[in-house]
Amino acid sequence: MNEPLNPSVQSDSAAAATVPQPAPPLPDRIRSEVWDVPFDHLTLAEAVDWIECLVQRRTPSYVITANVNYCMLHHRDPEMGVITDNADLILADGQPIVSRSRLSKKPIPERVAGSEMIYHLAERCSDNGWGIYFLGGEEGVAAQCAKKLQAMYPGLKISGIESPPFRKLSEREQAEQDQRIKKSGAAILLVAFGQPKGEKWIHENYKRLGIPVSIQLGASFDFIAGKAKRAPILCQKMGLEWAYRMCTDPKRLVPRYAKNATFLLGALIEDWKRLVTSWGMGDWSNRPER
């Protein structure tokens, strides 16, 4: 359900009504494929700079933070191909993806975790006077997330907070939600619907809503609100955050990570076969790019 806006929740519509200044051109992009998903070669800081450029364009766009689960869905779900193709940025939110890219000629510099990027986005929005619309999560979680970020980054504008029901909205409900988001004047729409529901929802709606940047951020709301806990830093660096999360919510995550592990094993076997084949043909420099 919708959560009432409190006095700290501000509308950004007046700022959005001003005539925008010409946006700087987007930086040059470098991409390489890992398991058929084209990832942008960006550090966390560079990704935030890119998103700032996208906001300044004032043209509806969306960003994907892709992990191994996203790569698997990209392979198995026919709807995901066009979502991947139309994304303005695809960030590697998984250490296995970064590690695999090191076998190619264009390795990804680092993991860009959505659960870390959300803090940097809030800081950048606070610095620029931009608003964020928080959409999704269980009732109360988005509000708590927004409250904590606003306390950390004074001046952050909260353009809207909404926790819709976990079902498809009626036509009337969807139209009312559209109007709330459109009139909010938000620069960034953060969505927490889960994967791939969030990416599909954004792809279906982002042009109509007109928000400069939309991003599905998974469990980030839960982490900030304190509903879920991130893995220790050592687990994150070792690429074992998935194992930690699986232990904290086995009923929901064990089936998902079992599928991810099966996909990952199959993908690595295919990578090895291609590498062995290239060696057999005498091409030692032809490392797999997929």
* Whole-number Å distance between alpha carbons of 91 and 42: 7
Tokens of 82: 């066009």
Q: How confident is the model at residue 14 (pLDDT cuts 50, 70, 90)?
A: very low
* Whole-number Å distance between alpha carbons of 162 and 179: 13
Residues 6+ apart with CB under 8 A from 72: 259, 260, 263, 264
* Whole-number Å distance between alpha carbons of 197 and 203: 10
Tell me what the pLDDT averaged over the chain comes to: 82
* Whole-number Å distance between alpha carbons of 74 and 224: 28
Per-residue model confidence (pLDDT) at position 8: 46
Q: Evaluate if residue 122 carries a pLDDT over 50.
A: yes
For residues 216-236, give the mean pLDDT. 75
Least confident of 126-135, 243-252, 273-282: 243-252
| pTM for this predicted structure | 0.79
Predicted confidence (pLDDT) per residue in 52-96, tens digit:
999 999 999 999 999 988 999 998 999 999 999 999 999 999 888
Per-residue model confidence (pLDDT) at position 45: 95
Predicted confidence (pLDDT) per residue in 181-214, tens digit:
999 999 999 999 988 999 999 999 999 999 999 9
Backbone angles phi, psi at 160, to 5 degrees: 180, 150
* Burial tier of 285 (Cβ tally within 10 Å: 0-12, 13-18, 19+): exposed
Closest CA to 54 of 10, 81, 91, 13: 91
Angular region, 102: left φ>0, alpha ψ -120 to 50, beta rest: alpha
Predicted confidence (pLDDT) per residue in 126-141, tens digit:
999 999 999 998 888 9
Per-residue model confidence (pLDDT) at position 249: 62
Q: Evaluate if residue 6 carries a pLDDT over 50.
A: no
Per-residue model confidence (pLDDT) at position 166: 80
Q: How confident is the model at residue 230 (pLDDT cuts 50, 70, 90)?
A: low
Per-residue model confidence (pLDDT) at position 124: 97
Q: Which residues of 235-271 are buried (b: 16+ CB within 10 A; e: fewer)?
A: bbeebebbeebbeeeeeebeebbeebeebbeebeeeb
Do 162 and 177 touch, CB atoms closer than 8 A? yes
